[in-house]
Structure 1
Amino acid sequence: MEAEKGVVVVSEATCEEVIDRASSFTAVESVFAAMARGDAYNFPVVREAIGHADALYGFKSGFDRAGMSLGVKSGGYWPGNVNLGIPNHQSTVFLFDPDTGRLKAMVGGNYLTAVRTAASSAVSINHLARKDAKVLGMVGAGHQSKFQLRAAADQRDFEKVVAWNPHPEMLPGLKAVADELGLPFESVEREELCAQADVIITITSAFEALLMKEWIKPGTHIACMGTDTKGKQEVDTALVESATLFTDEIVQSITIGENQHAIESGAISESDITPIGDVINGKHPGRSHADEITLFDGAGVGLQDLAVASVAVDLALEKDQAQHVSL
């Protein structure tokens, strides 16, 4: 038995070897469906500014009865890491045996956070974007944006990528990914991006609206995937109010996610937001017509991390690429 060998350790490097976009997409889609059925739930999020290095640190945890995943992701956001050549997001996932509470595995969380966040937006594109979407808009060009672009390109036959970033010097890195995918790439201002894009992914750490309602054309699907914390905002409240709203988890969406400001102002209520799992499970039709503007708020739930980490452990053990330690 694996428990007799000690705690399973799966390194960052091993995660990159065993987890790909397809496996992360399947894991995230499945856990969203389980959440909507009531088979999985997230525990309250702890997220705090630590008063050092401008860092945000916290815990996301939960239990998936369907997948038998119990655990916690510990980590956060260190904005200065970009100057050190390492990802701003740093995290580790700890998995526990649901039957005994014993620590079962420790899994590097940086790569998994990136692929599960990209998988989340990809799930929303798969279920909500127009089938004939041709132009992908990227707002943000940091480390995570490259994962987002690759995952989005799996879902629709995009013919072009348009992008904007508050620091234009970072755009060549995103262009390199578009070139790799064989997609023409254009750097544009935000209003022009909205005029062209059929699907828009926002992946920033903004605390002010970057996109305005009047810029968005009919039929656009928007995935708001930026850093989630109290005060975050990537699109204006009027846009949120006018769109058909979906999210991974309503509680996080209205407290630390994109919908928090519209809730606080009374522009929307909780009943205006649909869990994406209801669409996956066939309980909600998703997009109802071609001109509808759909908005998915990816608040980033702990169950996503547990799902992809569990798959990483299984695959690492299967491929004999996991380590065991005794504690």
Structure 2
Amino acid sequence: MNAETNLIQIVGEDLCKQLVNRKLAFDAIQDVFSAMARGGARNFPVIREGLGHAGAVYGFKSGFDAEGLVLGVKSGGYWPGNADRGLTNHQSTVILFDPDTGQPSALVGGNYLTAIRTAASSAVSIAHLARTDAKVLGMVGAGHQSAYQLRAAAEQRDFEKVVAWNPHPEMLPKLAAVAQDIGLDFESVSQRELGAQADVIITITSAFEPLLMRDWIKPGTHLACMGTDTKGKMEVDPELVASAQVFTDEVAQSVTIGEAQHAVTSGALDPDAITPIGAVINGDHPGRTEIDQITLFDGTGVGLQDLAVASVAARLASEAGLAGTVRL
């Protein structure tokens, strides 16, 4: 047999759902954020372009975790018309490579993993930055990823209630059902009322305008802004970003395509004031320093997150003998 021929694992969406739970995703994301802050893992520049077809945005995220020996790329994007076809708007696939040889080692479905790793990212920020006495969780957005966000966040604090707002209110009953399933009261509220009640707020939309204003947010709130991952997008008032203690997955993305981009461009926020969440995880930054401080996590979504959860899925599938294989 040709020495160049290698066996590639195929780990499909259903298998990813079977193998990778919220705890595994949380641990994988926390570990890779920690490695990034130590310099042991790095993301490569993101490619993200409009196709000029089907309204889609398509791109590549990649990187190398030298500590975990994980190398790969996620290819995918956003097709806004997919919901009408019964498909998820976000579509992606992860390819993992052997870092010693460069040969492909696994092809992993990325749709479920994208949702669970994004939820894990905000959950990590809540675990390290939210007040320990937080009781009310605010949800801005009720799309596909919101249920994952709600379930992951609810495991980080003893929440008693969820307050939610969505630009399309007819979507809120699905989120209410998730809250009911995990034993939390649910209330549909205005944006201003959400800010007045919530101790922790997750924004998970595709907005290009502020949905929450600075004056609506009460002291001591933690925000996890998870929807802004493209130049021009915006979920919260730039004045709110500038007034908060800002943390992020990666500063380079935060200031260019993340929620901080607008505050940085206007000069209201110094990029040097943005802290990688990994520094808090590693104990190199205290995180929240005052009870009334507003903290904000700018979750831009980095390739290393996708590679981290995909590598967990591939490893578990291999150990259980469940992965399909193909020779290339």
What is the CA deviation profile of residues 228-279 of structure 1, one whole-angstrom value per residue up to 9, with x for unaligned ones? 1010100011101100000000001111110110111111111110000000
Q: Residue in 1 aligned with 2:114?
A: 113
Q: Residue in 1 aligned with 2:288?
A: 287
Q: Does 1:161 align with 2:162?
A: yes
Distance 2:223 2:249 in 1: 14
Q: Say whether the 8 Å CA contact 1:7–1:325 is kept in structure 2.
A: yes
Q: Residue in 2 aligned with 1:7?
A: 8
Q: Residue in 2 aligned with 1:78?
A: 79
Distance 1:188 1:101 in 2: 51
What is the CA deviation profile of residues 54-105 of structure 1, one whole-angstrom value per residue up to 9, with x for unaligned ones? 1110000000000100000000011111222221110000000100000111
Distance 1:164 1:55 in 2: 26
Q: Residue in 1 aligned with 2:217?
A: 216
Q: Residue in 2 aligned with 1:69?
A: 70
Amino acid at match of 2:109: G
Q: Does 1:178 align with 2:179?
A: yes
Q: Taking structure 1 as reference, are residues 84 and 280 closer, same or farther at Cα in structure 2, changes over 3 Å only?
A: same
What is the CA deviation profile of residues 184-205 of structure 1, one whole-angstrom value per residue up to 9, with x for unaligned ones? 1000000000000000000000
Amino acid at match of 1:113: T
Q: Does 1:277 align with 2:265?
A: no
Q: Look up the SS of the partner of 2:146 in the other structure.
A: helix
**TM-score of the superposed pair, with normalisation by structure 2:** 0.98
Q: CA RMSD in A?
A: 1.0
1:227 Cα deviation from its structure 2 partner: 4.2
Q: Look up the SS of the partner of 2:138 in the other structure.
A: strand
Q: Say whether the 8 Å CA contact 1:5–1:324 is kept in structure 2.
A: no
* Matched residue count: 325
Structure 2, gaps ≥5 residues long? none
Distance 2:273 2:319 in 1: 43
1:206 Cα deviation from its structure 2 partner: 0.3
Q: Say whether the 8 Å CA contact 2:221–2:292 is kept in structure 1.
A: yes
Q: Look up the SS of the partner of 1:300 in the other structure.
A: coil
What is the CA deviation profile of residues 15-37 of structure 1, one whole-angstrom value per residue up to 9, with x for unaligned ones? 00000000000000000000000
Q: Taking structure 1 as reference, are residues 319 and 310 closer, same or farther at Cα in structure 2, changes over 3 Å only?
A: same
Structure 1, gaps ≥5 residues long? none
Q: Does 1:317 align with 2:326?
A: no
Distance 2:29 2:317 in 1: 18
Distance 1:217 1:83 in 2: 38
Q: Residue in 2 aligned with 1:48?
A: 49
Q: Does 1:226 align with 2:227?
A: yes
Distance 1:275 1:56 in 2: 27
Q: Say whether the 8 Å CA contact 2:6–2:103 is kept in structure 1.
A: no
Q: Say whether the 8 Å CA contact 2:228–2:259 is kept in structure 1.
A: no
Q: Say whether the 8 Å CA contact 1:248–1:277 is kept in structure 2.
A: yes
**TM-score of the superposed pair, with normalisation by structure 1:** 0.98
Distance 1:19 1:74 in 2: 20
1:320 Cα deviation from its structure 2 partner: 1.4
Q: Taking structure 1 as reference, are residues 148 and 157 closer, same or farther at Cα in structure 2, changes over 3 Å only?
A: same
Deviates more, 1:49-58 or 1:20-29: 49-58
**Identical columns (%):** 70
Q: Residue in 2 aligned with 1:195?
A: 196
Q: Residue in 2 aligned with 1:103?
A: 104
Q: Residue in 2 aligned with 1:38?
A: 39
Distance 1:80 1:128 in 2: 36
Distance 1:309 1:111 in 2: 10
Distance 1:114 1:285 in 2: 28
Distance 1:321 1:39 in 2: 31
Q: Residue in 2 aligned with 1:236?
A: 237
